[in-house]
A and B are shown apart, each in its own frame.
Chain A
Amino acid sequence: MTKETSTDVRFLMGNEAIGRGVIEAGCGVAAAYPGTPSSEVLESLVRWKKELGHPVYLEWSINEKVAFEVAYGASLAGARSMAAMKMVGLNVASDAVMSAAYLGVRGGLVVVVADDPGPHSSQTEQDSRFFAWFAKIPVLDPGTPAEALQMTRKAFDLSEKYQVPVLLRPCLRVCHARQDVHLGTPLPVAGVGPFEKNWTRWAAIPKFRLVLHGELNEKLERIRQEEPDARPQLIRRGRGDGLAVITSGSVSSHVRDVIATDERLDEADLYKVDLPFPAHAEALQEIADNHAATLVMEETYPVLELQIRDRRKVTGRLSGHVPPQGELIPELVEDIIGKAAGREPAARSAPSVKPRRPSLCAGCPHRPAFYMIRQIFDDAVYTGDIGCYTLGINMGAVDTCLCMGASVGMAGGFARVAAPEGQTRVVATIGDSTFYHAGVPALINAVHTRAPFVLVIMDNSVTAMTGGQPTPANDYLADGSPGEPVDMERLVRGCGVDFVEIVDPYDYSGMKQTLEKARAFTFEAGQGVSVVIARRPCVRMPNVELPSERFEISSERCDLCMTCVRDLECPAIHYVKGEKRMEIDVDLCAGCGFCVEMCPSQAIELKGA
């Protein structure tokens, strides 16, 4: 967001446009848990709040379920509210969302759920529009940042009009696109009046739930029939009876560009559906009936396609004409539409090189922690978790990655099954934010069941992967206002863990000794789960001062064992091919100095010493 423009046009990221829409709709409470590609929604709200002096309450919640519940509580109390998350976060929040669909809302409640077809930064390619269908709530599907702003405002109106939560589903190509976006005038923060107690509605027992389910079905039917966005809009007229393309959301932008730039596709009629559930099925059917062929292009599940009852002349994901997985990138869109129009796909040359794999940053405190875990527990199974430290796979220190918090839960399961001889140990690693998010119940479970594993909490004091959002351990909230820090060590002890030690992962011998003690406690003395908190701030945080020392490798002492490259995997160290020597890149080196103690040949020394 730039502030210098005097006009009301800005070059906004989709997520910033959504944040702007939330402000313009007069939202009073917004909560989120960070996750790519959704994180900038709440981050931008912090900036909009500051820029406009807006009173909206903002929080990074402990997880997505709590974020939704905070928003839902605010809605019942009468305010417009929003919860933002990525699609796998919606899985975490699903219990609350499904139930809220039945109960309904008071103040407009919008759930922003960012999908990640590809997937680029996620575990699944799930389609949150399909989730909306499952939960029986309406969903809006923006195609560009500019549309996302408008649809956000619309989502609040819809939610309040029909008293149902509304899902806004931007895909990554909307979230992380930037576009010139026209700003609107923010509505004042208004409420629908204070909460009125009515337990048959807001605390409904099963017999009232049946009634509420009926009411929800009636709401959906009214939306389907009455809302213009539930009908396909003709956005480009062609021949009228040849090829029809029905599209929605992020892929609609590729479809529009492909059709607009190819005169051979002039005869195609292009329809777009902004509210893909509950869509006006009869209108969709009419298109299919009136055209020789209809192609449905949507990300990532066949939501519109399934709502067309007679699909004999319809192609899409169900018919196999659109691949059942993977992102619909423009080249693919071009090929699919071209084929539907009776053409052969264009020949293309693929990139000739493999992309560079991501890696923990130079100086990242997770690196020495993983290194020492491998040294002390060389025969272990390493259950891993979701965050930067998933990149411990590069160091052979992460063997599993399922979902938020699963390192702890799965360790409890691994510990119950006899392993091959000499491979009996389980070591779990989890980041601080992920531990708060979903690790705590699993740890209590492990304590209670006396599960024998070591848990290393990689505590870098922020949610690093998604850009450094605060965790419950911080003493400030999303917008910088003061918060109450929830102490990690006390929390772990409160879970019932007897062995809790905090250690600086840069401290070679300290880290070594602490892990040895944990090993003795859990595996030798059999005293149950032990927890090591490897604590050092993320090197990417702006307030972290990096050591100024730089190091060099003595070619005389270095025997090219490659431990620094293979086991430490430091991106600042590389092999110089022609010269058969190792080199430290001073531009990349963060000065942590861990390699000095790690090097088996003691070949690394202070530069210029």
Chain B
Amino acid sequence: MVEMILCGRGGQGIVFLTRQIGQMAAAKGLNVISSETHGMAVRGGSINSHLRIGPFFSPLIRQGHADFLVSLDASETANNRHFLKSGGLIIENSPLPDEPQIRRIDASAIARRLGRVQLENVVLIGFASTVDGFPVSGEELRSQFAKDPREAIRTMNLRALEAGRGGR
């Protein structure tokens, strides 16, 4: 059982990441349920997704229950920190150094170097896949992104994934 919050600003690709992880879990035969933000809030507002792998019915994680908080925007982390259980791990897009219980990567800078800041979500999930206990592996992400029929997007995503896994 893994419970995970993904957060950021509307437009950063939170929903995309949530779907990718959910699809990979479902393809492995796991029970998975998630919740997405849509509507007005996605116009640049604060948004989050909940993702739960295990025998759950509810798509929402209770406060103090999440194993991971994946944050695409450091200023949104505090909005969602209360979902994390004690001992849970934050994986954050930020140029700052790691702290206890917080692993960081400057995904925006890496994505910008790759030519598109919009790739920051893929960089971050690549990085997250190197973290112990994270429910998807680099190999699974690779084969997931390799399925995209749009060649340009597939290539960019795979590059961003490896850049995130390499931490640069």
Q: Which residues of B contact A398 (CB under 8 A)?
A: none
Chain B proximity of A601: nearest CB distance (Å): 26
How many interface residues does chain B have, given as a range? Answer: 35 or more
Given the known A-B contacts A330-B60, A358-B45, are A179 and B39 also in contact in the complex, defined by CB atoms under 8 Å? Answer: no
* Alpha-carbon separation in the docked complex, A57 to B126 (Å): 42
B137 within 8 Å of A by Cβ? Answer: no
Among B11, B39, B75, contact of A121 (Cβ-Cβ < 8 Å): B39
* Alpha-carbon separation in the docked complex, A413 to B82 (Å): 47
- The residue of chain B having its C-beta at the shortest distance from the C-beta of A121 within the complex is B39
Q: Report whether A178 and B22 are in contact in the complex, using a CB–CB cutoff of 8 Å.
A: yes
Write out, one digit per residue, whether chain B residues 36-75 have a CB within 8 A of any chain A CB (1) or not (0).
1111111111100000000011111111100000000001
* Alpha-carbon separation in the docked complex, A504 to B38 (Å): 29
Chain A proximity of B160: nearest CB distance (Å): 15
A231 within 8 Å of B by Cβ? Answer: no
Q: Report whether A348 and B117 are in contact in the complex, using a CB–CB cutoff of 8 Å.
A: no
B10 within 8 Å of A by Cβ? Answer: yes
The A contact surface, by secondary structure, is loop
- The residue of chain A having its C-beta at the shortest distance from the C-beta of B117 within the complex is A587
**Interface 9-residue window, one of B25-33, B95-103, B128-136:** B25-33
Q: Report whether A176 and B58 are in contact in the complex, using a CB–CB cutoff of 8 Å.
A: no
The B contact surface, by secondary structure, is mixed
- The residue of chain B having its C-beta at the shortest distance from the C-beta of A12 within the complex is B26
- The residue of chain A having its C-beta at the shortest distance from the C-beta of B36 within the complex is A176
- The residue of chain B having its C-beta at the shortest distance from the C-beta of A122 within the complex is B39
Q: Report whether A356 and B35 are in contact in the complex, using a CB–CB cutoff of 8 Å.
A: no
B79 within 8 Å of A by Cβ? Answer: yes
Q: Report whether A36 and B38 are in contact in the complex, using a CB–CB cutoff of 8 Å.
A: yes
Q: Report whether B39 and A353 are in contact in the complex, using a CB–CB cutoff of 8 Å.
A: no
Write out, one digit per residue, whether chain A residues 7-31 have a CB within 8 A of any chain B CB (1) or not (0).
0011101000000000000000000
Q: Which residues of A contact B60 (CB under 8 A)?
A: 173, 254, 329-330
Q: Which residues of A contact B26 (CB under 8 A)?
A: 5, 9-11, 180
Given the known A-B contacts A121-B41, A357-B45, A587-B117, are A351 and B78 also in contact in the complex, defined by CB atoms under 8 Å? Answer: yes
Q: Shortest 8 CB-CB distances between A and B: which pairs?
A: A121-B39, A358-B45, A36-B39, A177-B59, A355-B46, A253-B57, A180-B26, A11-B26
Q: List 8 A-B contacts (CB under 8 A).
A: A2-B147, A36-B39, A121-B39, A177-B35, A179-B59, A254-B57, A257-B58, A351-B78
Q: Which residues of A contact B (CB under 8 A)?
A: 2, 4-5, 9-11, 13, 36-37, 120-121, 143-145, 173, 176-180, 252-254, 256-257, 329-331, 334, 348-353, 355-361, 388, 390-391, 465-467, 571, 587
Q: Which residues of B contact A (CB under 8 A)?
A: 9-11, 18-19, 22-23, 25-27, 29-46, 56-64, 75-76, 78-82, 108, 112, 117, 147
